């Protein structure tokens, strides 16, 4: 296959949802349909095995949340799907934002009884910033659900997004019978007896097809006809361009637990979801089918195997083809590296990556040296943009319980910061380190990880700090003056950038007012 054909078959996507809407269940079913796993339940089982291996993950086990995100690749009907998992808990949303920089589209899962929830909304906003196409899966139709018109209205109103139902539910809760496929005119009935059945559907000529009466009782049929007529009157017909631009979402109704609607969602993604898109770099825009390899690191996961102390840099391929043994330029350091041991992530296993193309994700094991946002190329100096770091909202001082371990702690913190697990600041004055996070649960996870992975028991202590801002200015002299005048409120982050640590909002405003020609940034685009 040519490079362009290979890339055209890639669908790299993530699922966004509020906890409990059914993301894990849907993931399992997508993998089951893709033949990537034999039995549903495997995703969880694998997760549990992995969790058991490392202690810090106990935290996530105890709290019942999933902290680490991973990649799952599977093939289905001529397409290669790369599904990037996103942690659902809101304390880890920073990680999720970065994962979303590495996908081309998203599936938004809603609980049919709850509609749009806080986390769905937040994640949606991130997708919108990137004009990302979104398909919607309304899950749990086998339970008492809200009126489908109501749900569509909510999506349209609260997200300002056009909706176009791809299927229409027949009944709900105990009376949920299945869906009418509005795109292909098929009737798909749910077979509750076998939760893993892959229903093929019954092709019809339309809602007047007399065969409908063989499958549905008269009253259901009547309601279906009325509702579909209303839907067609009220909602926009599916428009591919509008979906690709992020203005319209096709809506699928189903029940992940019963494997229902999953196949339709998959064929929707195959037929409509975008293949790998172009990416912006500081120097120029990079097209996926360019001959030369390029990619960026969007996630670093440390100590996946504690025995080896390895770190895995997850790289999204932006252009070209990767081949094992290739020499790649690590643009930030200017070094050239031969990559022999890159990994591909299948549903159940990792395997050595012989080849991969734009859209795919490879993992490069390393011992440090990679940072989130780093670019890899075949030689060109390209620096990709748009991978965010967020100003932390909570800041604590961290100290080793044994003061002799301070040096080791510094190294551990640096690694955790490079991995994106927290922001770490070294104040210009004083010997302590300040750790900043977006959600308080992250402190617990960090303390557990520093203890188990680096063998340094630590204590987190509250600070009087309110927030942090990256300070930038075009005039180096001015920046220097500012730094001299504010040493007591300044620190540097793990890359050496100056950061203003504000004690309260008044203090923050004062800094900004006194230095109008400097910029106090809430997010730093890692480049
Ligand atoms: P996540 O937190 O979004 O990953 O949600 P899970 O996939 O873990 O699902 C949350 C709960 O909802 C679990 O108890 C699932 O068994 C249940 N669930 C998921 N999908 C369905 C569905 O289609 N119907 C019903 N009745 N329950 C579901």
- ipTM, two decimals: 0.99
- Whether 60 shows a pLDDT value over 90: the answer reads no
Q: pLDDT tens digits for 352-398?
A: 889 999 999 999 988 778 888 899 999 999 999 877 666 777 899 99
Residues 358 and 268 in one domain: no
* DSSP letter for each residue of 276-338: PPPEEBSS-EE-TT-SS-EEEEEEEEE-SSTTTT-EEEEEEEEESEEETTEEEEETTTTEEEE
Phi, psi of 472 (to 5 degrees): -135, 150
pLDDT band at 59 (very low <50, low <70, confident <90, very high): very low
- Which residue has better confidence, 66 or 295? 295
pLDDT: is 244 or 187 the higher one?
244
Is 23 annotated to bind a ligand? Reply is: yes
Residue 26 Cα: closest atom of ligand 1: 7
pTM score, two decimals?
0.80
Domain boundary, last residue among 332, 349, 377:
377
Most confident of 36-45, 398-407, 418-427: 398-407
Q: Is residue 6 part of a domain?
A: no
Asked if residue 40 has pLDDT above 60, the reply is no
CA distances (Å), origin 188, targets 140, 164, 166, 202, 399:
16, 18, 12, 6, 60
Protein residue with its CA nearest to atom 17 in ligand 1: 22
86 is in an annotated binding site: yes
333-337's contacts with Cβ under 8 Å and 24+ in sequence apart are: 333/369
The closest-lying atom of ligand 1 relative to the alpha carbon of residue 19 is: 2
Q: How far is residue 288's CA from residue 2's CA, in Å, rounded to a whole number?
A: 13
Asked if residue 383 belongs to a domain, the reply is no
Which has the closest alpha carbon to 152: 269, 265, 236, 219? 236
Residue nearest to atom 14 of ligand 1 (CA): 20
Q: Whose CA is nearest to atom 24 of ligand 1?
A: 140
**Does 403 lie in the same domain as 345?**
no
Would you say residue 159 lies in a domain? yes
The answer to the question of residue 72 being in a domain is: no
141 labeled part of a ligand binding site: yes
Instruction: Give every CB contact of residue 9 below 8 A, 6+ residues apart in sequence.
Output: 78, 79, 80, 275
24 annotated as belonging to a binding site for a ligand:
yes
Q: What proportion of the chain, given as a percentage, has pLDDT over 90?
A: 55
Are 382 and 283 within 8 A, CB to CB?
A: yes
Of the two residues 258 and 351, the one the predictor is more confident about is 258
Which residues on adjacent β-strands are paired with residue 134?
Answer: 106
17 annotated ligand binder: yes
Pocket test for ligand 1, best of 15, 83, 92, 257 (most atoms within 8 A of CB): 257
Domain count, the chain: 3
* 140 annotated to bind ligand: yes
Q: What is the pLDDT of residue 65?
A: 35
- When pLDDT is averaged across residues 303-320 and rounded to a whole number, the result is 79
Q: Does a structural domain hold residue 86?
A: no
Q: Final residue of a domain: which of 330, 345, 377? A: 377
The answer on 288 and 189 residing in a single domain is no
Highest mean pLDDT among 180-184, 266-270, 429-433: 266-270
Tokens 């631009």 sit on residue: 245
Mean pLDDT for the stretch of residues 340-347: 83
Tell me the CA distances in angstroms from 187 to 30, 203, 227, one per residue in order.
21, 6, 15
Residue to mutate, 16, 21, 22, ligand 1, most ligand atoms under 8 Å from C-beta: 22
Q: Quick count: other Cβ atoms within 10 Å of Cβ 317?
A: 26
The pLDDT assigned to 276 comes to 97
Query: Band of the pLDDT at 51, cuts 50, 70, 90?
Result: very low
Q: Give the CA-trace dihedral at 286, 289, 292, 297, to 10 degrees.
A: 60
Atom in ligand 1 nearest the alpha carbon of residue 143: 26
Residues 409 and 459 in one domain: yes
Give me ligand 1 centre to Cα 72, in Å.
Answer: 20
State which of 76-80, 95-99, 318-322, 423-427 shows the largest mean pLDDT: 318-322
pLDDT digits (tens, 9 = 90+) for 473-486: 999 999 999 999 99
Is 419 domain-assigned?
Answer: yes
Tell me how far the alpha carbon of residue 22 lies from the centroid of ligand 1, in angstroms.
4
Q: Looking at ligand 1, which atom is closest to the CA of residue 20?
A: 2
Specify whether 448 is located in the same domain as 468.
Answer: yes
Does the annotation flag 22 for ligand binding? yes
Q: What end-to-end distance do the CA atoms of the chain give, in Å?
A: 34
The rounded Å distance from CA 105 to ligand 1 centre is 22
186 C-alpha to ligand 1 centroid (Å): 26
Lowest mean pLDDT among 53-62, 271-280, 311-320, 471-480: 53-62
Whether 129 maps to a domain, the answer reads yes
- Check which CATH number belongs to the domain holding 430 and give it: 3.30.70.3280
My answer on whether 325 and 457 are in the same domain is no
CATH number of the domain that residue 49 is part of: 3.40.50.300
Give the C-alpha separation, 90 to 123, whole Å. 10
Check whether residue 355 and residue 292 sit in a common domain.
Answer: yes
Q: Which residue has the higher pLDDT, 18 or 97?
A: 18
- Residue that wins the pLDDT comparison between 391 and 65: 391
Segment among 43-52, 88-97, 291-300, 403-412 with least mean pLDDT: 43-52
Residue 259, phi-psi category: left (phi > 0), alpha (psi -120 to 50), beta (remainder): left
Domain that holds residue 359: 279-377
Q: Please state, rounded to an integer, the average pLDDT across all residues of the chain.
A: 86
Cα torsion 500, 369, 410, 414: sign: positive
**Closest ligand 1 atom to Cα of 109:** 3
Last residue of a domain, one of 377, 400, 433: 377
Which pLDDT band, with edges at 50, 70 and 90, does 49 fall under?
A: very low
Q: How many whole angstroms from 143 Cα to the centroid of ligand 1?
A: 11
| Residue 18 assigned ligand-binding role | yes
Answer yes or no: is 21 a known binding residue.
yes
- Cα(140) to ligand 1 centroid in Å equals 7
- Distance from residue 189's CA to the centre of ligand 1 (Å): 20
Are 370 and 311 spatial neighbours (Cβ–Cβ below 8 Å)? yes
Give the tens place of pLDDT for each residue, 131-170: 899 999 999 999 999 999 999 999 999 999 999 999 999 9
Same domain, yes or no: 267 and 345: no
**Is 392 annotated in some ligand binding site?**
no
Query: 130 alpha carbon to ligand 1 midpoint, in Å?
Result: 28
20, 133: one domain: yes
Measured from CB, residues less than 6 Å from any atom of ligand 1 are 17, 19-25, 88, 139-140, 142-143, 255-257
Same structural domain, 348 and 495? no
Assess contact for 85 and 31: CB atoms under 8 A.
no
CA of 171 to the centre of ligand 1 (A): 19
Question: Which stretch of 218-222, 255-259, 408-412, 438-442 has the lowest confidence by average pLDDT?
Answer: 438-442
**Is residue 95 one of the residues assigned to a domain?**
no
DSSP-derived 3-state class of residue 379: coil
Q: What is the pLDDT of residue 41?
A: 45
Residues 138 and 28 in one domain: yes
Ligand 1 centroid to 148 CA: how many Å? 19
Please give the Cα distance from 519 to 469 (Å, whole number). 9
Half-sphere exposure of 448 (CA within 13 A, CB side): 14
Pair (261, 118) in one structural domain: yes
Residue 522 has a pLDDT of 82
Residue nearest to atom 15 of ligand 1 (CA): 22
Alpha helices, DSSP H, located in 349-487? 406-419, 441-454, 476-485
Pocket test of ligand 1: the residue of 18, 20, 25 to mutate, having most ligand atoms within 8 Å of its CB, is: 25
Which among 398, 400, 468 has a CA at the least distance from the CA of 438? Answer: 468
**Position 527 confidence tier, pLDDT thresholds 50, 70, 90:** very low
């Amino acid at each position: 296959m040519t490079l362009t054909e290979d890339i055209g078959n890639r669908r790299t996507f993530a699922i966004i949802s509020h906890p409990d809407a059914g993301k894990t269940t849907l993931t399992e079913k997508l993998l089951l349909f893709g033949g990537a796993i034999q039995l549903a339940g495997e995703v969880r089982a694998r997760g549990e095995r992995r969790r058991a291996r490392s202690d810090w993950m106990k935290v996530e086990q105890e709290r019942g949340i999933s902290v680490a995100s991973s990649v799952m690749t599977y093939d289905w009907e001529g397409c290669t799907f790369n599904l990037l998992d996103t942690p659902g808990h809101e304390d880890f949303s920073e990680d999720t934002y970065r994962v979303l920089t590495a996908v081309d589209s998203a599936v938004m899962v809603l609980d049919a009884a709850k509609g749009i929830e806080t986390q769905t909304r937040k994640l949606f906003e991130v997708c919108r910033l990137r004009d990302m196409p979104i398909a919607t899966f309304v899950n749990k139709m086998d339970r008492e659900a809200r009126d489908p018109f109501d749900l569509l209205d909510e999506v349209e109103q609260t997200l300002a997004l056009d909706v176009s139902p791809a299927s229409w539910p027949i009944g709900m809760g105990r009376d949920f019978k299945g869906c009418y496929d509005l795109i292909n005119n098929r009737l798909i009935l749910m077979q509750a007896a076998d939760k893993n059945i892959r229903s093929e559907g019954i092709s019809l000529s339309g809602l007047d097809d007399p065969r409908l009466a063989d499958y549905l009782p008269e009253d259901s049929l009547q309601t279906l006809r009325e509702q579909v007529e209303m839907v067609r009157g009220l909602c926009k017909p599916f428009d591919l361009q509008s979906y690709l631009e992020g203005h319209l979402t096709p809506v699928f109704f189903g029940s992940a637990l019963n494997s229902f609607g999953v196949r339709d969602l998959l064929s929707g993604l195959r037929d409509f979801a975008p293949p790998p898109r172009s990416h912006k770099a500081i120097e120029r825009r990079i097209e996926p089918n360019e001959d030369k390899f390029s990619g960026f690191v969007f996630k670093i996961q440390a100590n996946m195997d504690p025995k080896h102390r390895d770190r895995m840099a997850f790289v999204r391929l932006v252009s070209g083809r990767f081949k094992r043994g290739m020499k790649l330029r690590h643009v930030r350091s200017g070094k050239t590296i031969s990559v022999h041991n890159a990994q591909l992530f299948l549903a159940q296993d990792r395997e050595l990556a012989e080849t991969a193309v734009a859209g795919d994700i490879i993992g490069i094991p390393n011992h440090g040296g990679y940072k989130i946002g780093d670019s890899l190329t075949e030689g060109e100096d390209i620096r990709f943009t748009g991978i965010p770091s967020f100003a932390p909202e909570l800041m604590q001082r961290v100290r080793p319980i044994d003061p002799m371990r301070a040096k080791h702690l510094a190294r551990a913190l640096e690694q955790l910061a490079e991995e994106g697990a927290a922001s770490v600041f070294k104040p210009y004055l004083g010997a302590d380190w300040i750790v900043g996070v977006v959600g308080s649960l992250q402190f617990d996870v960090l303390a557990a990880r520093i203890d188990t992975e680096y063998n340094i028991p630590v204590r987190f202590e509250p600070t009087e700090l309110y927030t942090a801002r990256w300070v930038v200015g075009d005039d180096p002299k001015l920046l220097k003056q500012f730094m001299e005048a504010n040493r007591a409120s300044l620190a540097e982050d793990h890359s050496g950038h100056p950061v203003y640590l504000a004690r309260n909002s008044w203090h923050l405003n004062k800094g900004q007012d006194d230095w109008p020609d400097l910029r106090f940034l809430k997010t730093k685009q890692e480049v």
